[in-house]
Amino acid sequence: MQAITVADRSADPALAELPYPHAAENDVVVRVHAAGFTPGELTWPATWTDRAGRDRTPSVPGHELSGVVADLGYGTTGLTVGQRVFGMADWARNGSLAEYTAVEARNLAPLPADVDHVTAAALPISGLTAWQALFDHGRLTAGRTVLVHGAAGSVGSLAVQLAREAGARVLGTGRAADRDTVLGLGAEAFFDPLSPDIGPVDLVLDVLGGEVLDRSAELVRDGGTLVTIAEPPRVRPGIFFVVEPDRARLADLAQRVRDGRLRPRIDTVRPLAEAPAAFGARGRTIIRVA
Ligand SMILES: NC(=O)c1ccc[n+]([C@@H]2O[C@H](COP(=O)([O-])OP(=O)(O)OC[C@H]3O[C@@H](n4cnc5c(N)ncnc54)[C@H](OP(=O)(O)O)[C@@H]3O)[C@@H](O)[C@H]2O)c1
């Protein structure tokens, strides 16, 4: 099968031939139709080593996928061959930039027939991260105010939509050119991330880290929460977390897309052979594989 591989930390991603993946216990092999990736994943340890710390190169990047179940591993229940699915690929195994990938079945959810694979491939990491940040870690409820940094980005744009629908007041930050986009998603005000005009809020969702994260701590009201997905906070206590798979929440996100209540950001769609160039591109690229 064809796949994008990275041979070592100094090599660029490249198109290669790999053997069809093995479906281990509780796995499914998915025929990938569309895949998402994070340019920064080439710096993650799990891209290079397996869970025991052993070298696993050449490795296949990409941790978001939408496709059709092609094979079931021993003991796999809950999904069937031929079923449309979407979800997250495991961090420390070959990922989604391939014609086929083996994934733990519990990381996937059924994909409704009226949600296309490209849209579905843009949802798993960004959507679950936004949800978990706002509601699992941030305990956001109706009437509270949340500041979403990077609000036009992949995670931020979904966070703005989810928070608005939950009845929260949303303030967004980002590049000046993205003001209208962020307001159009449902934010009631837009700022530069370091603006002195941002008032106290109940929750900050930071995706930028660094100085923005340091300054964000001052914006949280007493009893409020700072949640970041960028790096552990240095200045004041806050919650840093890494997104976890969640089949039930994926199903909920897909339903919101069907209803027209949620739209992931997608800037560019490219074929698998062009995925290496997409690693250096700005904006959100989804790779159409099948
Ligand atoms: N911990 C986790 O579980 C987890 C999960 C998902 C993502 N992440 C990480 O979270 C970060 C954000 O992910 P994402 O997918 O949402 O990225 P993204 O799509 O690039 O969104 C970031 C947004 O912030 C904007 N931005 C960046 N720097 C800015 C600045 N200095 N001032 C104003 N706006 C700025 C970007 O604008 P431009 O596009 O114009 O630069 C973009 O709109 C990444 O580092 C990613 O690796 C972590």
Q: Name the 3-class secondary structure at 37.
A: coil
> What residue's CA is closest to ligand 1, atom 3?
242
Residue 216 has pLDDT above 90, yes or no: yes
> What residue's CA is closest to ligand 1, atom 33?
174
159 within ligand 1 shell (Cβ under 6 A): no
| Domain 2-122+266-288 coded CATH 3.90.180.10 | yes
Residue 226 has pLDDT above 90, yes or no: yes
Tokens matching residue 274: 């062009």
185 within ligand 1 shell (Cβ under 6 A): no
145 within ligand 1 shell (Cβ under 6 A): no
Expressed in angstroms and rounded, the spacing between residue 154 Cα and the centre of ligand 1 is 7
pTM of the model: 0.97
CATH 3.40.50.720 maps onto the chain at 125-240
Condensed to tens digits (0 to 9), the pLDDT of residues 191-207 reads: 999 999 998 999 999 99
Neighbours of 122 (CB within 10 A): 28
243 within ligand 1 shell (Cβ under 6 A): yes
pLDDT band for position 235 (cuts 50, 70, 90) = confident
Long-range contact set of residues 15-20: C-beta below 8 Å, sequence gap at least 24: 15/272, 15/273, 15/275, 15/276, 16/58, 18/58, 18/60, 18/94, 18/98, 20/100
Average pLDDT over residues 139-145: 98
| Domain 125-240 coded CATH 3.60.21.10 | no
CATH 3.90.180.10 maps onto the chain at 2-122+266-288
